[in-house]
Amino acid sequence: MHTLYSLCYWLGNTPLGRSIHDSSWMFPVIETLHLFGIVVLVGSASVLDLRLMGVAFKDYTVSMLGRRFLPWIWGGFALMVVTGGLLFSSEATKMYGSDVFRAKMLMIAAAGVNALVFHFLAYRSVGKWERDPVAPLAARFAGVVSILLWFGIVGAGRWIAYS
């Protein structure tokens, strides 16, 4: 059998995966915390994205917003990884075969790559343009891609339940 499938099978049969799967209240409670994490992560990321896009918060510098909101982004992301990992462990073999789940993971990876590319390209020269109400094209592009991906990830997350 495929290694990845074996890993999912093993994860689903760990005491943790089994308890979440068998409990009537653990899954909804973890899912609720996962929803809280969405607000923190996607809300904070959207503030930066909207600023990069030049849509809102134009009188704050990009680096100031980054300094204030990145800790919330990382905090929200950590909560998503923990709660998402727990949800996954309870239905790992089911997720293994879900196209929507794969699409969601790909979009998260793409959001990470997008953030990394932004960090190492446009953000390097942030001192030169961060006071401009409209950021350079590369930064605006990163903002649009990021906000679309994150809301796409939220949508995909809801669709996993129906897939």
Nearest alpha-carbon partner for 39 in 149, 151, 143: 151
Shortest distance in whole angstroms from residue 65 CB to other proteins: 10
Nearest alpha-carbon partner for 99 in 9, 12, 163, 4: 163
End-to-end CA distance of the chain: 23
Distance (Å, rounded) from C-alpha 151 to C-alpha 148? Answer: 5
Say whether residue 47 binds other proteins (CB under 8 A): yes
Shortest distance in whole angstroms from residue 39 CB to other proteins: 5
Say whether residue 124 binds other proteins (CB under 8 A): no
Say whether residue 19 binds other proteins (CB under 8 A): no
Per-residue binding string, other proteins, 62-101, x by CB under 8 A, is: ------x---------------------------------
Say whether residue 125 binds other proteins (CB under 8 A): no
Q: Which is nearer to other proteins, 36 or 141 (CB)?
A: 36
Distance (Å, rounded) from C-alpha 132 to C-alpha 135? Answer: 6
Q: At what angle do helices 62-90 and 3-12 cross, to 10 degrees?
A: 80
Give the residue carrying structure tokens 């809300």: 43
Q: Which is nearer to other proteins, 44 or 114 (CB)?
A: 44
Q: Which stretch binds other proteins (CB under 8 A): 56-64, 81-89, 116-124, 130-138?
A: 56-64
Asked if 34 and 118 touch (Cβ cutoff 8 Å), the reply is no
Q: Which chain residues interact with other proteins by CB under 8 A?
A: 28, 31-32, 35-36, 38-40, 42-44, 46-47, 56-57, 60, 68, 151, 154-155, 157-159, 161-162
